[in-house]
Amino acid sequence: MDKVTIATRESALALWQANRIKHLLIAGDPQLRVDILGMTTEGDQKLETSLAKIGGKGLFVKELEQAMLDGRADIAVHSMKDVPVNLPIGFCMPAILDREDVRDAFVSVKYKTLDDVPNGGIIGTSSLRRESQLRNQFKGVEVKPLRGNVQTRLRKLDEGQFDGIILAAAGLERLGLKARIAQYLSVDVSIPSVGQGALGIECLERRVDICELLSRLDHFPTRTCVEMERFVSRSLGGSCTSPLGAYARFFEDELEMSAFVSLPDGSKCLRVSGVEEGSLDGRSRLEKKLIHELISLGAKELLNEID
């Protein structure tokens, strides 16, 4: 193989992510030519409507998958939090890179922390997951939808449309905007989105050559944790539009995991957590334990109510 084409969205963050993969591939094989195919997805076009109403985050990936099917691209780079928990038949994710910061970040020009925002303060977010946790724990604030790329959201904040906004810390850090972060939200306050902070590389299953090329970029501990999170979401029938989050991590020789399901208005929020040994058996026990606890608390009925 002497050439690889990467399909990516054309936002600054998506292009940063694609270029990171390009540099990693070339570092492994300086003779390899890597091109980037920038694309505008349906999710990027429909910015005036909430993702929950138009099909979820899968709208950010389907055009990239079509480019691979058409032969215009060999791979696609995604934020794993944007990838539906069920990949289309014929696709695979041969590489999930070492995870970066998983936390949500509070950004404001007025306040240093979310606790400082007064009753009636307006917080912007594009995520039902974030919105539901905000409404559950910060009952005095008003949450309003905020779509667009990172720069667009920051501009709306700076124009005074919001008192604060919530973004993924990893995205801000990748774009060199760490200084804009007023507060990192603890994962106990805001359980992250499934796969948050991790980059994944997708390709067609039949492209054995591509799978072999990408396998050296795969980070096993991150893959284990992301797969656990996606398994919990999939088992509950969650989607990219569900107010659901899960976060797994290795801590020394153990696996820790927390998960939640909520109503969008935060009036009911089910949270569970657990610890098991960091083995394959421990992983299986922890997944099953949290799923069982959430189902026992009524998670599936709650998600059906939302649907």
User: 175, exposed or middle or buried, with CB in 10 Å at 0-12, 13-18, 19+?
Assistant: middle
In angstroms, the CA 109 to CA 93 distance is 39
Please give the structure tokens belonging to residue 131: 């919105």
The span from the CA of 77 to the CA of 46, in Å, is 21
Question: With contact defined as beta carbons under 8 Å apart, do 68 and 103 qualify?
Answer: no
DSSP class of residue 111 equals -
Q: What does the angle CA 236 – CA 252 – CA 271 come to, to the nearest 5 degrees?
A: 30
**Is residue 253 flagged as an active site residue?**
no
Structure tokens at 277: 């040994």
Residue position matching structure tokens 């070492």: 98
Edge to edge, the sheet with strand 244-251 lists: 244-251, 254-262, 269-277
List beta partners, residue 185: 104
Catalytic entry in 35, 44, 74, 82: 82
Catalytic residue numbers, as ranges = 82
